[in-house]
Structure 1
Amino acid sequence: MIKIDIRDRVGTITLDRLARRNAMGSEMVARFSAALEDLDRNPDVGAMVLTGDGNTFCAGSDLKELGSMDPAGMAEHERITAAAVRRMPNLDKPIIAAVEGYAMGGGFILACACDIVVAAGTSKWLLAEVPNGWLPPWGLQPLAAKVGPVVAKRLTLGHEMQTGADLHRIGLVDYLAEDGQSQALATDHARRIAALPPAAVRSTKRFFAPMIAGLAEPLDAAASDAFLENCTHAPALATLAKFGVRHD
């Protein structure tokens, strides 16, 4: 479910649920959060790479698992996920996303929360929540920090698929890679960062963290409230019914 590899002062976290396109269920979120904390405390790690197994990054929340919950239960699951992702800008070690294939919904935001984003030019990115009938329940602060609120709003509407090349042009993706080479390029950057003086790297992350994380916690709370309200309307109810979500 989560694979960890440490070499040359780079800790690599691989999301490993290929059958679910590396979707984030409850167990994966818990293991992912623990992996981040463990690598951040490890003195032999100077930087991290986050990637997905099987030539895809992450399909977001596991809708099959969420289908066993009512909307309030879904919101609680998303609250826990949001807390793990909000922690990322406040860790001492930089995190570099390596994106191949699909970065959808929460997977899109997970990449945005990393310090640096490397992506294949043909990678596919989409925030599908609004077309499904609801506002994304967390993570819009790091998106807005990356591209500004006007562009973040357009991307959140989710009316068109984006490629890694599209997002590189607007600054969300920092470095483009050839197909299949995002992890290699991300690892190269991670090794160079890991070779820098650790105290100065830590100070750099801490200095910029408030500007990046900003009001993430209250904004996530407001988004979660909007999500629950949106789930009472017909378009969202129709989407949720496809996944067997309970409404009692």
Structure 2
Amino acid sequence: MITVTRDGAVLRLMLDRPARRNALGTEGGRALDAALVAADRDETVKAIVLAGAPPAFCAGSDLKELGGLSIPAMCDHEAITAAVARRIALLAKPVVCAVEGYALGGGFILAVSCDVVVTAADATWRLPEVANGWLPPWGLQALIARVGPVRARMLVWGAEPIDGREAHRLGVADLLAPEGGALARATAYATALAALPAEAVTSAKRFFEPLAAHDAERLDAAASRAFAQDCRGPAAAATLARFTVKA
């Protein structure tokens, strides 16, 4: 589920389920959480890079896994990934995300939950949840912190996908890389962070954490309640029927 490699003081965590487009399942979410915790506790690691195995960063939730779940069980499933995304803000080490291919749904939100986001210019970013009939059930505070509430609302509606250039212009991503260059750019930036005094890097991250992640757990709970309610509507029911979700 997660491939771990080392480049000096930088640890690279790779979502590695290419057959499922690196979709987020329960096992993978727990594996990512464990890898993040281990990296944060390793004193020789100074920065973390999060990426996805080709062809994409992450396609969002694993709909095959969700297919047999009731709506309450779906909420519990999504809460696992929500907790992993919130943990990123609480780590002492900076996490730099590299997005190639596409970041969809939960993959989009996982990416923007990282401290620094690098996107390839041709990457596709989209939140398809509203088109499916429901509100994204977690991570919206991370998006609001990056782009503000008005742009966040537009992106959550997801009426049109955006590419990496537009993601960078809007503030969804911090750094823009050429096609195929996001991982190299993210690694270079993480290496630069790793060369700085570690205690000062951590202090900067912790100072800004309350501002970037303000009230995130409560907002996730509110979004999850809206998600559960939306899933009982006709549009969501039609979407969920394709995956045999039991209401």
TM-score, normalised with respect to structure 2: 0.99
Report 1:5-84 matches (<5 A): 5-84=5-84
Q: By how many angstroms is 1:53 displaced?
A: 0.2
The answer to whether the Cα contact below 8 Å between 1:23 and 1:62 also exists between their aligned partners in 2 is yes
Residue 192 of structure 1 corresponds to: 192
Deviation digits for residues 164-214 of structure 1, max 9, x if unmatched? 100111111111111111100100000010010010001001000000110
Structure 2: gaps (5+ residues): none
Q: By how many angstroms is 1:125 displaced?
A: 0.6
Residue 108 of structure 1 corresponds to: 108
Q: By how many angstroms is 1:139 displaced?
A: 0.4
Q: Which residue identity does 1:129 align to in structure 2? A: E
Q: Which residue identity does 2:92 align to in structure 1? A: D
Residue 236 of structure 1 corresponds to: 236
Residue 207 of structure 1 corresponds to: 207
Structure 1 SS opposite 2:12: strand
- 2: CA distance, partners of 1:14 / 1:199: 26
TM-score, normalised with respect to structure 1: 0.98
Q: Which residue identity does 2:12 align to in structure 1? A: T
- 2: CA distance, partners of 1:213 / 1:134: 23
Which segment drifts farther, 173-182 or 126-135?
Answer: 173-182
Q: By how many angstroms is 1:33 displaced?
A: 0.3
Q: By how many angstroms is 1:222 displaced?
A: 0.4
Q: How many residues align?
A: 247
CA root-mean-square deviation: 0.6
Residue 221 of structure 1 corresponds to: 221
- 1: CA distance, partners of 2:117 / 2:194: 16
Residue 150 of structure 1 corresponds to: 150
Q: Which structure 1 residue ranges, 4+ long, deviate > 6 Å from structure 2?
A: none
Structure 2 SS opposite 1:204: helix
- 1: CA distance, partners of 2:57 / 2:91: 21
- 2: CA distance, partners of 1:116 / 1:202: 14
Q: By how many angstroms is 1:80 displaced?
A: 1.2
Q: By how many angstroms is 1:55 displaced?
A: 3.1
The answer to whether the Cα contact below 8 Å between 2:98 and 2:118 also exists between their aligned partners in 1 is yes
Q: Which residue identity does 1:233 align to in structure 2? A: G
Structure 1 SS opposite 2:173: coil
Q: Which residue identity does 1:22 align to in structure 2? A: N
Report 1:88-99 matches (<5 A): 88-99=88-99
- 2: CA distance, partners of 1:70 / 1:231: 10
The answer to whether the Cα contact below 8 Å between 1:59 and 1:105 also exists between their aligned partners in 2 is yes
The answer to whether the Cα contact below 8 Å between 2:21 and 2:55 also exists between their aligned partners in 1 is no
- 2: CA distance, partners of 1:228 / 1:104: 20
The answer to whether the Cα contact below 8 Å between 1:55 and 1:180 also exists between their aligned partners in 2 is no
Q: Which residue identity does 2:108 align to in structure 1? A: F
